[in-house]
Amino acid sequence: MAFATRPIMVWQPGHKGRSYVICTEQVRTAREHHKQFEGYLYGEVGVSFFLSETTPGKGPSLHTHPYAEVFVVQDGTLTFVVGDEEIEVSGGQIVIAPAGTPHKFTNTGATVARHIDIHTSSQMQTTWLES
């Protein structure tokens, strides 16, 4: 795939109505191997997400959000608990946790799992249900 050779316009606060390219290095590191993009920090962007690389045996504890969360699993194996269901997924699959539904996941594979965790809100809001 060929990419445009024109200069890239980097996002700057106060600019509205134009498209910009943001390097992932500019996105806040939430914790080791997890980048956190919150749309409200970049103008009127109505979505937030994590770019994640989860090591085997790791994952967040049970929590909820007042909006849906969509997990795009790119590589590896993750086991999700969404409500009363336990679901094992691998690269190429998508999981949706509806608004208000308790959920969590664990990397149950032998390799790092790469995934994008999309929050359908411009600002992340999490209620942790267990430590």
User: Which residue ranges make up each domain of the chain?
Assistant: 28-128
Q: Look at the chain and count its residues.
A: 131
State residue 6's pLDDT score: 40
pLDDT band at 10 (very low <50, low <70, confident <90, very high): low
How far is residue 126's CA from residue 131's CA, in Å, rounded to a whole number? 13
Q: Is the pLDDT of residue 91 over 60?
A: yes
**What tens digit of pLDDT does each residue of 21-48 get?**
777 776 777 766 788 999 988 877 899 9
Lowest mean pLDDT among 9-23, 69-83, 85-99: 9-23
Place of tokens 């979505």: 47
How far is residue 129's CA from residue 17's CA, in Å, rounded to a whole number? 39
Assess if CATH 2.60.120.10 describes domain 28-128: yes
Whole-prediction pTM: 0.83
Please spell the DSSP secondary structure of 10-33, one letter per residue: BP-TT--SS--B--GGGSEEEETT
How far is residue 114's CA from residue 53's CA, in Å, rounded to a whole number? 5
